[in-house]
Amino acid sequence: MSENSALYQLVAQEIGRDYRQPLELYSTDNTPPREQLDQELNIAIGARACEQLLQHGGTADLICTFIPRTTFESLVELYSNGKRRLSAVYLDQPLQRQLHLARLLVPDAKSIGTMFGPFSAASRQRFDTAAGEQQLTPISITLDESDNPIERLKPLIQQSDVFLALPDRATFNRTTAKWLLYITLQQKVPVIGFSKTYVEAGALAAVYSTPAQIGRQTGELLRELDLSAPLPPPTYPKYFNVSNNPIVARTLNLSAPDNEALRQQLEDGNP
C-alpha cells in the first residue's frame, strides 16, 4: 500500500475478498526483504507503492492498481528495467466513457472543451478521437507552469458547449478547479468532472470508480491469473458509478438525470 491508511486498506480488503487467497500486506514504510519481493507476485496499491516497487528493479511480476493511467505510464518509462512483467488496473475512466456521458447529458452539444497539463497532454489524441466518435468537435489547450490558467480558460469555455475536466496534478489544483467551475457556471457551460467531490463542488456529473470497486476488480484479476501466461494488459475500471448535481442541472436548464439509468447506458455502450 502507498500508505497505511483506511483508504488503501479498503482497497486491500476488497482485493483479498475477491482473490480468496491469503495476502501479505505491507506499506511503503514497512516493506518486506528484497529477496521476498523477488520471489512473489507484487501488487502495488497507489502511485507511491508502484514507484517504490519499480525503483526496486526486481524481476517479479508487478500489478499496479488504484493508479491513474498517466502516472503508471510515466513511472514505467522512468523505472522499468524490461526484466519484469507489468500490468495495471487504472483509477481513471476511459475517455470514451466520459465523452459518452457528456453526449447523454447534453445531447445537443456540438463541441467539447478540455485543458491538458504536463501529465495529461499525452491524452490529446485520445480525447480528439473519443470526441469524434460522439460527433463532438474537440477544443483544447495545453497549460504549462508559466501560463495563467484563468486567462486561457475563459475563451476556451466560451467556445465549448460542454467541458470535460481531466485530472492532472500539475493543473487541477484547488484554485484552478474553483475558477473553472465559476467560469463554466457563469457561461452556462456544463462540466463533466472526474470525481464525486467535483460534482459536489459544481460539476454537472461525473463517472468514477470507488476504492472498493477498484479493489474488487483487482481481486478478480488475481483470481483468474495464469502466471504461466502473459499478464493481461493494463485495464480501465470495469465497475463504476455516475453522480450528478441536480442544482447545477436546474441552473443550466437541463433535466436532472437518473444516475443508475446513465450508468447502465454507459455500461452497455462502452468497454
Closest CA to 166 of 106, 99, 212, 215: 99
67 C-beta neighbours (distance < 10 Å), count:
26
Checking if the pLDDT of 269 tops 90, the result is no
pLDDT at 57 over 90: no
Answer whether 0.85 is exceeded by the pTM: yes
User: What pLDDT digit, counting tens, does each position of 58-95 carry?
Assistant: 889 999 999 999 899 999 999 988 889 999 999 999 99
Say which CATH topology domain 95-208+240-269 has.
Rossmann fold (3.40.50)
pLDDT tens digits, residue range 137-163? 999 998 777 777 788 899 999 999 999
pLDDT at 172 (0 to 100)? 57
Mean pLDDT of 176-182: 86
Question: Hey, where are the domains in the chain?
Answer: 6-91+210-223, 95-208+240-269
CA–CA distance, 21 with 100 (Å, rounded to integer) = 37
**Cα(23)–Cα(12) distance, integer angstroms:** 9
DSSP track, the chain: --SSSHHHHHHHHHHHHHH-S-----BTTBPPPHHHHHHS-EEEESHHHHHHHHHHT--S-EEEEEE-HHHHHHHHHHH--SSS-EEEEESSPPHHHHHHHHHHH-TT--EEEEEE-TTTGGGHHHHHHHHHHTT-EEEEEE--TTS-HHHHHHHHHHT-SEEE----TTT--HHHHHHHHHHHHHTT--EEESSHHHHHHT-SEEEE--HHHHHHHHHHHHHT--TTSPPPPPB--SS-EEEE-HHHHHHTT-PPPPHHHHHHHHHHH--
pLDDT in tens, 116-142: 877 777 789 999 999 999 999 999 998
Cell numbers describing residue 239? 465497475
pLDDT of residue 164: 97
Instruction: With CA atoms as reference, report the closest residue to 157 among 177, 186, 133, 132.
Output: 186
Average pLDDT on 99-104 reads: 96
Cell of 202: 459544481
Averaged confidence pLDDT in the chain: 92
69 residue type, one letter: R
What amino acid is encoded at 45 in this protein?
I
Q: What is the 3-state secondary structure (H, E, C) of 105-131?
A: HCCCCCEEEEEECCCCHHHHHHHHHHH
Q: Torsion over CA of 62, 65, 71 and 76, rounded to 10 degrees?
A: 10
The mean per-residue pLDDT over the stretch 259-265 comes to 95
The set of long-range contacts for 79-82, using a CB threshold of 8 Å and a minimum separation of 24, is: 79/51, 79/54, 79/55, 80/54, 81/57
